[in-house]
C-alpha cells in the first residue's frame, strides 16, 4: 500500500464549540498522525485556534479524515502533499 504524506492545517473559528467533536475525529484517525501542534490564534485567550498535523496514510484514509471534518462549517482544512 502506497502511503501519502501531508501537512494539514485546521483553522477553527469557533474553538469552544467545535474542539470537543474535532478531537473525537482526531482520535478516530489518530494512527495517521506523526505530529500534532495546537496553537491559539490572536492575542490572549481567543475562540480561534490552529492545529497543524503531519499525516501519513493511504489516499482513502486521508480522504476519510477530510470527509469527517466537512461537517464543521467553522473548521477550514488546508492540506499540502509532501511525499
Q: What is the value of pTM for the model shown?
A: 0.91
Structural domains of the chain sorted by starting position, each given as residue range(s) with its CATH number in brackets? 4-81 (3.30.70.1150)
Q: Which residue would you say has higher pLDDT here, 83 or 7?
A: 7
pLDDT higher at 18 or 42 = 18
Better-predicted residue by pLDDT, 2 or 65: 65
CA-CA distance, 55 to 34, in Å (whole number)?
6
Q: What pLDDT does residue 45 have?
A: 78
Query: Quick one: CA dihedral 67, 25, 42, 82, positive or negative?
Result: negative
Cα-to-chain-centroid distance, residue 32: 11
Residues 5-25: what's their mean pLDDT?
A: 94
Amino acid at each position: 500500500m502506497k502511503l501519502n504524506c501531508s501537512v494539514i492545517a485546521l483553522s477553527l473559528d469557533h474553538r469552544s464549540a467545535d474542539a470537543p467533536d474535532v478531537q473525537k475525529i482526531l482520535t478516530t484517525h489518530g494512527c495517521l498522525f506523526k505530529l500534532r501542534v495546537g496553537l491559539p490564534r490572536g492575542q490572549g485567550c481567543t475562540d480561534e485556534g490552529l492545529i497543524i498535523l503531519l499525516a501519513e496514510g493511504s489516499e482513502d484514509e486521508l480522504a476519510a479524515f477530510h470527509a469527517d471534518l466537512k461537517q464543521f462549517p467553522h473548521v477550514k482544512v488546508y492540506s499540502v502533499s509532501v511525499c
